[in-house]
Structure 1
Amino acid sequence: MNREEILKEFKGIEGINEAKKIYKTLAKKLHPDMEGGNEESFKILNAVYTDLIEHKIYFSNDFKIDIELEKIISLILHFENITIELVGSWVWVSGDTKEIKEKLKELGFKWASKKKMWFYGEMKGRNPQEKSMEEIKSKYGSETLKSKEKKQIAS
């Protein structure tokens, strides 16, 4: 099985327990010691599953979004004059944020002083070579959920 076929198996899951069941079923089928299984497919399965677990990503139609991030986004969508971007597993907020600074802090956002933006999501560690937003977007992918001109969240 290739990556796309394995991802399709996880499509529509609603939680970690469902992901575990699918993983176990596929692992039994794709393990190199099993008839029809092979090392490459098993490695792909492990990579996909690890990504799901680490980022708590569950699939809804063709758009993947972390359930926790979806809640955070819904709490800030109504603010005006801001841009909300989903970049990898982080929510980034830019624009006129001075008036909502305390609310963002309450929700767990942190200020990235060099980028002049707020972010929500766990940073795994300090990178000695600071990346620009364009480099981060290029590496993890991005989706603008709301721009200063009041757009609705993608669904």
Structure 2
Amino acid sequence: MKISDALSILGLSSGATQEEIKAAYKGAAKKYHPDLNSAGGEMMKLVNAAYDVLREATSTETSEQADANYGADLYAAINAIIDLDGLEVEICGSWVWVGGNTKEHKEALKQAGFKYAKKKQKWNYRPSGWKSRSRGTYSMDDIRQAHGSVRPSRPARRDYALGAAA
């Protein structure tokens, strides 16, 4: 994960100090705790990875440009699609890639802020200010190798019998 991605996930601006990084991590851990909702577990994986990157970074390295709202935006995007049936969600670095049966969920993906990558035949969610330089020349295997890959599992659904007599 790049330092700018890690800063964005924790909602920090460039030049963050170690104290600010630690405070942002604690705040994000409370905000995205898995017990709060279904996308929390995946966000905590990203938050932990971002914290690991930034904990080892120097203050000059953290001066990279970052999007302070990206963590909250990413969380909302994952939360909007995590319960949709037939989707294969994969997190590579700070991007979320979605494949599988996406046709029936096309409108939900668009509303959540995902964009369709025709060459990869997948939907993706990325930082809003990101500009492509490669024009799709990297394969998904290249992306996985460069940024790592996590495939979130869907949370177990709890079925409650309403009005059932004890």
> What's the TM-score once normalised by structure 2's chain length?
0.54
Q: Deviations over 1:66-118 (max 9, x none)?
A: 22211110110110111111211211111001101112112221111111100
Cα pair distance change 1:113/1:128, threshold 3 Å: closer
In structure 2, the residue corresponding to 1:44 is in which secondary structure?
coil
Counterpart of 2:146, as a letter, is K
68-77 vs 116-125, greater mean Cα deviation: 116-125
User: 2:66 — aligned with what?
Assistant: 54
Q: Per-residue deviation at 1:9? A: 6.6
Kindly report structure 1 stretches of 4+ aligned residues shifted beyond 4 Å: 6-9
* Structure number with higher relative contact order (C-alpha < 8 Å, ≥ 6 residues apart): 2
User: 2:115 — aligned with what?
Assistant: 110
In structure 2, how many angstroms separate the alpha carbons of the residues matched to 1:111 and 1:120? 9
Structure 2 residue runs of 5 or longer lacking an equivalent are 1-16, 29-56, 157-166
User: Counterparts in 2 of 1:62-73, with a 5 A limit?
Assistant: 66-73=71-78
In structure 2, how many angstroms separate the alpha carbons of the residues matched to 1:145 and 1:106? 21
Aligned residues: 109
Instruction: State which structure, 1 or 2, has the greater radius of gyration over its C-alpha atoms.
Output: 1
Q: Per-residue deviation at 1:139? A: 1.5
In structure 1, how many angstroms separate the alpha carbons of the residues matched to 2:18 and 2:149? 19
User: 1:126 — aligned with what?
Assistant: 133
Counterpart of 2:155, as a letter, is Q
RMSD: 3.1
Which structure dedicates a bigger proportion of its chain to strand?
1
Cα pair distance change 1:111/1:129, threshold 3 Å: closer
Task: Check if 1:152 corresponds to 2:155.
Answer: yes
User: 1:45 — aligned with what?
Assistant: 59
Cα pair distance change 1:81/1:128, threshold 3 Å: closer
Counterpart of 2:143, as a letter, is I
Q: Does the 8 A contact of 2:77 with 2:113 survive in 1?
A: no
In structure 1, how many angstroms separate the alpha carbons of the residues matched to 2:118 and 2:108? 18
Q: Does the 8 A contact of 2:89 with 2:96 survive in 1?
A: yes
User: 1:82 — aligned with what?
Assistant: 87
In structure 1, how many angstroms separate the alpha carbons of the residues matched to 2:106 and 2:136? 27
Q: Does the 8 A contact of 2:77 with 2:112 survive in 1?
A: yes
Task: Check if 1:139 corresponds to 2:151.
Answer: no
> What's the TM-score once normalised by structure 1's chain length?
0.58
Counterpart of 1:54, as a letter, is A
Q: Per-residue deviation at 1:126? A: 3.1
Cα pair distance change 1:12/1:141, threshold 3 Å: farther
